[in-house]
Amino acid sequence: MPIASRKPWMQWPDHGDKQFPVADRTLAINNQGSNRTPFCQLIFTQRQSKLMAIKEGNLEAPKREPLDWQNPQFYDKDSLYTEMERVFDICHGCRRCVSLCNSFPTLFDLVDESSTMEVDGVDRQDYWKVVDNCYLCDLCYLTKCPYVPPHEWNVDFPHLMLRAKAARFRKQGASMRDKVLAATSHLPHMLAFALVHHLSNLNDHEEIFRYAAGGFRDFTRIASSDPVMWRDICIANSDALIDLIEQYQDELDRVKLAISDGDTEELLRLFSRAKSERDSLIGNC
Ligand code: SF4
Ligand code: SF4
């Protein structure tokens, strides 16, 4: 639990008769001695019985709220910056995700090198450095964060990064990074979801999945990703994604035609080019 925050979103939540008076919290913080002393330990000495009922984080199953992408406020720069400051400040007080990716170290370095050493000392333009380092893997939401909804702090870091990317896309169009992500991450997810969905509609799908080998498991692993997150990514990046899906459909039509024509030369040309491109650019593992 981040301590000694001055921000309204970090105030002790309302737990009815279990709520600590401000004076008790202030006393606990002022009496820390070392600012590394856990807040809960200080409180424990004062209000043992009440502490037992307070949750440090969210102990309920995460409940992901849909992105409000049709609301004009969703793309409003000031509203976005306000929400980023709120969430960044909670993360700055928590820092649990520092090892997950480059977004969090980027954020914490910006805070630590600012004049106030708080989020309010960071130039808002620099928030985009945090956004740029997020590749929407969803790990911070799925594995780390105790403050995801239904916790009252309502931290959904990947959704916030997605909102920022969508707002920037609406204003500036897709950056090279977004186009690369659409091609290498978003399109493969669509293919994996569509393939598994298609096969699961077949009569003998249980047999098919039972005998699936390693290649099928590798190819479809990403179909186990969070459906809500991927629904929102599709919507936020729909233009780039639809372009790519249409191009991919053309490619499948080419393969289909070559197969139906028995055009072995065309098939060999196509597969050989794909193999040599992948081997030279990614390696043959
Ligand atoms: S979703 Fe973004 S911020 Fe969260 S762990 Fe993945 S890359 Fe990092
Ligand atoms: S996303 Fe959650 S767990 Fe991660 S640093 Fe932010 S508040 Fe902490």
Its sign, for the CA torsion 78, 82, 83, 87, is positive
Look at the chain and report how many structural domains it folds into.
3
Cα of 17 vs centre of ligand 1, distance in Å, is: 37
Give yes or no: residues 201 and 271 share one domain: yes
Q: Do 113 and 122 touch, CB atoms closer than 8 A?
A: no
- Ligand 1 neighbour 132 (Cβ under 6 A): no
Cα of 144 vs centre of ligand 2, distance in Å, is: 7
Is 59 part of a structural domain of the chain?
no
Is 63 part of a structural domain of the chain?
no
Nearest C-alpha to atom 3 of ligand 2 is from which residue?
Answer: 145
* The pair of three-digit structure tokens given for residue 200, joined into one six-digit string: 């699961």
Query: Can you list the alpha helix ranges (DSSP code H) found in the chain?
Result: 22-30, 39-46, 48-51, 77-94, 103-112, 127-132, 139, 157-172, 176-181, 187-200, 205-210, 214-220, 227-236, 238-260, 264-281
Give yes or no: residues 165 and 152 share one domain: yes
Give yes or no: residues 111 and 189 share one domain: no
Residue 93 structural domain: 72-172
Cα of 12 vs centre of ligand 1, distance in Å, is: 27
Give yes or no: residues 160 and 257 share one domain: no
Q: Tell me, what CATH number does 198's domain have?
A: 1.10.3660.10
- Ligand 1 neighbour 138 (Cβ under 6 A): yes
Query: Given the CA of residue 133, which atom of ligand 1 is nearest to it?
Result: 7
In the chain, what percentage of residues exceed pLDDT 70?
78
Is 161 part of a structural domain of the chain?
yes
Does 278 score more than 90 pLDDT? Answer: no
Cα of 163 vs centre of ligand 2, distance in Å, is: 17
Is 151 part of a structural domain of the chain?
yes
Q: What is the pLDDT of residue 50?
A: 44
Which of 172, 199, 229 is at the close of a domain? 172
Cα of 75 vs centre of ligand 1, distance in Å, is: 21
Is 92 part of a structural domain of the chain?
yes
Q: Which residue has the tokens 């911070």?
A: 140
Q: What is the pLDDT of residue 177?
A: 72
Q: What is the pLDDT of residue 112?
A: 96
Q: Determine if the pTM surpasses 0.75.
A: no
Give yes or no: residues 78 and 101 share one domain: yes
Nearest C-alpha to atom 8 of ligand 1 is from which residue?
Answer: 101
Residue pLDDT, tens place only, 224-240:
988 888 888 888 778 78
Which of the two residues, 93 and 5, has the higher pLDDT score? 93
Which of 142, 172, 202 is at the close of a domain? 172
What's the chain's average pLDDT? Answer: 80
Give yes or no: residues 226 and 195 share one domain: yes
Does 76 score more than 80 pLDDT? Answer: yes
